[in-house]
Amino acid sequence: MTISEELLAILVCPKTHQRLRLASAEELAAINHAIERHQIRSVSGETVQNNIDGALVREDGQLCYPIRADIPILLYDEALTLSISTKS
């Protein structure tokens, strides 16, 4: 998954306006591993069932926005809470 630097420079969390960055391969693997173990919930409280193709991690590392089929899902309720260690 690639996102142009120009687009990445303007993407922010819709709730806090913190900057977003593309998750590294290691972070994505850790997130998907946690999803497979039913340890990741969305902000709305639902357990995430399906692996994601990529993620945009919020500056504070507490949330990420999933990327599915090359489309970033920038809806706050769809953001994933990161209670696992995924920081690079």
Q: Where are the domains of the chain?
A: 5-81
Short-list 69, 64, 68, 67, CA closest to 80: 64
Q: Which residues pair with 58 in a beta bridge?
A: 20
Instruction: List pLDDT tens digits, range 40-80.
Output: 999 999 999 999 999 999 999 999 999 999 999 999 999 99
CA dist., res. 22 & res. 72, Å (int)? 10
pTM: 0.89
The amino acid sitting at 1 is M
Rg over alpha carbons for the chain, rounded to the nearest Å, is 12
At residue 10, φ and ψ (nearest 5 deg) are -105, -10
CB count within 10 Å of CB 82 equals 22
- Please check the confidence at residue 88 and state whether its pLDDT lies above 60: no
